[in-house]
Structure 1
Amino acid sequence: MTMASSRSHRTALSVNLNKVALVRNTRHLGVPSVTRAATLCLQAGARGITVHPRPDERHIRRHDVFDLAELLRAWPDREYNIEGNPFHNLMDVAREVKARGLPLHQLTLVPDSEGQFTSDHGWAFPQDAERLRPVIAEAQALGARVSLFMDAEAMQMAGAKAVGADRVELYTEPYAAAWHTPQRGSQLERFRAAAQAALDVGMGVNAGHDLNRDNLTAFLSTVPGVSEVSIGHALIADALELGYAATIADYNRCIDEAHV
């Protein structure tokens, strides 16, 4: 049995709804509904909802953040994860969520630029340390757990801990890109080492970006201590074919198989 599969806790599936909002925004009728999609995912067994409200509102809009937070009131055993750059709009959104008395479980801080196509790298230490410390402290004062979006570099984990992060979210696109190549094994080892380094300094581990039904079980079977995976693009694409209920069930199956 691998170290990862011998863990006592089960990895939580958080569904990123950005792509639902992206489709909705191509018309002006509110279809598909982001809150309806969230409800269907939660009913099907998702353990959380993730959104990344970018400044240009190309997908998730500001009102979506609050609408979803209101929805999560009815699901007290599920979590709400809001991602974004704390030096753009994220902290303003988080402050308003808190001011409205809405659920705010986790803030995932991502170092993307305004207008960036998609998140593609993590924070770096010691370069980002000084500017991150105060925003992490503020986020925690708002009652949120703080996760830092990080590349799978074991030597960087102590830096994330030193600035006060509760968790790291490992950026998994390099692993996904290597899935059909001879580099798959070396990428898995890289992520295993990074996760273990994070655990060794007392942080939790999340993971996300291009995880899917093909590569998820192998990842979780090898990488230790993953508390949460945040999956959007592949999951929503699968839901277009299978529906939300069957899709969530299959992702949960992938997670369960890693915990056998």
Structure 2
Amino acid sequence: MTPAWTTDAATDDPARAVRLTLFWGLEGVCLRTIAGGRVPTVTEGPLRRRLDEADLPVVALDPGLFEGSVASRASWLNEIDQLDEVAAFGARFGCQLIRVGALSDPDGFDAEAATQALRQVGERAERLGLTLAVRNEAGTAIATGAALAGLLAAVDHPAVGADWRPADALMSGEAPREGLAALGAANVPVRCVGVRDGWQEADGWGEAEVGAGTLGWDAHLGALVEAGVEAPLVIDVLPVPPRSSGLASATALVRALRQARRSAAARG
């Protein structure tokens, strides 16, 4: 597992993003918004130079696809066509992993239609050499690991796996370890892990530095290692102020990952 972050959690400036990645001890980046543009429609030159100079890999792209409703057929069909441009962009950065939504909304979700649509998306992705990671997201019909497992098991396509977000599962009332177990039981590969932490408040969710909330990242990383997950670990959200909280979150993530690996090695 590669500890990484979505850079626009703190900055969309390529030079500053690279400096922070190195300063925090992270090993890769997920690209979403750069210099005011959403990938793949961004100015590539400065970004590629900075990443090459620092020898930092792009572990995933988040172009904002398939985040609407499955009922909006024209929209997601158009986004399937956009995968060609995403694939070309990813090839230039050595990245084939694309984080996407589940074509899910909170009301009127049609699981059968979403299954067929995501299978169609997966077929195009496979032809382009891409791998998709479909997220569970609080506030949608696919908010938990169990819901994501059920959907992706039905899709049953080798190019389509999970973007597992344990904090979103926790926000939605599911114990993260149970959500991970549901994905494993359904033989759904975890292709990416979204990292954030926090706690439930009376009026919603409060963000916290990784390891300072109630999710229990030490134990969850142990469960990921035990399950044989090799996906990138991507810090997606940083509490304000992001510069200092980013250092604390990255340090906690790297330390917890090392401990989880040591514990697994000691168990043999």
State yes or no: 1:52 paired with 2:52: no
Match of 2:181 in 1: 193
Contact 1:72 1:103 in 2 (8 A): no
State yes or no: 1:206 paired with 2:192: yes
Match of 1:139 in 2: 125
Q: Deviation of residue 75 (structure 1)? A: 6.0
Q: Deviation of residue 82 (structure 1)? A: 1.0
**When the two structures are aligned, how many residues end up with a matched partner?**
220
User: Where do 5+ consecutive residues of structure 2 fail to align?
Assistant: 67-75, 137-143, 198-209, 264-268
Among candidates 7, 15, 18, match of residue 8 of structure 2: 18
Contact 1:82 1:106 in 2 (8 A): yes
Q: Deviation of residue 106 (structure 1)? A: 0.9
Which structure 2 residues correspond to residues 92-171 of structure 1 after superposition, within 5 A? 93-97=85-89, 101-111=92-102, 125-150=111-136, 151-153=144-146, 154-160=149-155, 162-171=156-165
Which structure 2 residues correspond to residues 218-257 of structure 1 after superposition, within 5 A? 218-223=219-224, 224-226=227-229, 227-234=231-238, 237=240, 239-241=242-244, 244=247, 247-257=249-259
User: Normalising to structure 2: TM-score of the pair?
Assistant: 0.63
Supply the distance in 2 between the matched residues of 1:240 and 1:77 (Cα, whole angstroms): 19
Q: Deviation of residue 252 (structure 1)? A: 0.3
Identical residues among aligned pairs (%): 16
- Matched letter for residue 221 of structure 2: L
CA deviation digits over 1:92-126, x for unaligned, max 9? 65145158x3322311111479xxxxx999x9843
User: Where do 5+ consecutive residues of structure 1 fail to align?
Assistant: 1-10, 25-32, 114-118
Q: Deviation of residue 36 (structure 1)? A: 2.3
Backbone CA RMSD of aligned residues: 3.9
Supply the distance in 1 between the matched residues of 2:154 and 2:46 (Cα, whole angstroms): 35
Match of 1:78 in 2: 57
Contact 2:195 2:235 in 1 (8 A): yes
Supply the distance in 1 between the matched residues of 2:218 and 2:106 (Cα, whole angstroms): 23
Q: Cα 1:75–1:229, aligned 2, differ >3 Å: closer, same or farther?
A: same
Contact 1:53 1:61 in 2 (8 A): no
Q: What SS is found at the alignment partner of 1:225?
A: coil
Q: Cα 1:169–1:210, aligned 2, differ >3 Å: closer, same or farther?
A: same
Contact 2:15 2:50 in 1 (8 A): yes
Q: Cα 1:73–1:241, aligned 2, differ >3 Å: closer, same or farther?
A: closer
Q: Deviation of residue 77 (structure 1)? A: 6.9
Q: Cα 1:37–1:216, aligned 2, differ >3 Å: closer, same or farther?
A: same
User: Normalising to structure 1: TM-score of the pair?
Assistant: 0.64
Supply the distance in 2 between the matched residues of 1:64 and 1:170 (Cα, whole angstroms): 29
- Matched letter for residue 139 of structure 1: A
Contact 1:42 1:48 in 2 (8 A): no
